[in-house]
Amino acid sequence: MTAPDSVAPALVAELQETLGDWFERTARPLPWRSPDRTPWGVLVSEVMSQQTPVARVAPVWLEWMERWPTPAAFAAASTADVLRAWGRLGYPRRALRLQECARAVVERHDGEVPEDEALLLALPGVGAYTAAAVMAFAFGRRSVVVDTNVRRVLARTLGGDALPMPALTAAESARAARVAPVSDDDAALWAASSMELGAVVCTARTPSCDSCPVSHLCAWRAAGYPPDEHAGRRRTQAWKGTDRQARGTVMGALRAAHGPVARAVLDDLWPDAAQLGRCLASLVEDGLVEQCDADLSGGPDGRAPRRDAGAAQVYRLPA
């Protein structure tokens, strides 16, 4: 158990006030920040933004909320429609979980997003970050929001480090909890403003320290911008030839097809047949893909579609 770092309360208070003022002056007009936002809209925006840049999320979110304004409306959508609307946001399992989440909200909470962090956490696809974010941004309630932006801002301003560790540590969580304001309003504003700073100014690659409202308070700057201590320990995401790329290729083809796609077509898109087969199986297992029979009618007598070894394998987005 490591000793908690000591940060002067006056410094923290000045950080909070300066960033809060800065946020209220300069916050980006993201659509889910509009005054007529709903808790469900906020939740949707948070799930879409998990590991996806908000600039890419915004247009999808607008179309999404117009089409499915409430949990009940979204709960009734077909999986294929959901996955096509999700488009190229990435990690399509999030779209599936979001629909499970909507159905859980309908069943457990009468169609209303609960104003309770533990109940939010219990929803599919909602983890510690998203539950805290919904509490703060949808309800204006106190929570400890720790995303990649907040982690970086705290690591620099308070820790004097270039970047946080690859994975969230207990010490970081403790620090974040310690600096979160007590009142609902102040905590919600702190969450929004510390995230915004990390997203817009205190960025990972080339931070804009010249235009940073709290550069005069920043420990990393005061220390002369020491380089990342654990540089090189960050594993780079492999991509080419991976299952992820194969799965993405399949999903892209099925989204574009608006109908069943034969295995032979997919074989043309991916050179390794064995890998493709494994990925198709995993996609079916995940509920992202459905295997159907080449003869969609199932025959004039309504008999069950055949799926014997010799039949052509055909895939589509789940109905």
Partner DNA sequence: AAATCGTGGCA
Partner DNA sequence: TTGCCAAGATT
Residues taking part in catalysis: 46
Interface with DNA, residue 44, by CB under 7 A: no
Of 146 and 293, which has the nearer Cβ to DNA?
146
Would you count residue 172 as binding DNA (CB under 7 A)? no
Instruction: Name which of residues 79 to 138 contact DNA (CB under 7 A).
Output: 88-93, 97, 124-131, 133
Q: How far apart are CA 179 and CA 268, in angstroms?
A: 54
129 residue type, one letter: Y
CB of 153 closer than 8 Å to CB of 194: yes
Contact predicate 5/174, CB 8 Å: no
Of the two residues 38 and 294, which places its CB atom closer to DNA in the complex? 38
Interface map 220-259 toward DNA (x if CB under 7 A): --------------xxxx-x--xxx--xxx-xx-------
User: Based on CB atoms, which residue is closest to DNA, 15 or 279?
Assistant: 279
Q: Which CB atom, from 236 or from 297, has the smaller least distance to DNA?
A: 236
Rounded distance between C-alpha atoms, residue 115 and residue 135, angstroms: 7
Which of 22, 23, 32, 139 forms a contact with DNA (CB under 7 A)? 32
Asked if 196 touches DNA (CB under 7 A), the answer is yes
Q: How far is the CB of 121 from DNA (least distance, A)?
A: 8
User: Which chain residues interact with DNA by CB under 7 A?
Assistant: 30, 32-33, 45-46, 49-54, 56, 88-93, 97, 124-131, 133, 147-149, 152, 163, 167, 195-196, 198-199, 203-206, 234-237, 239, 242-244, 247-249, 251-252, 282, 288
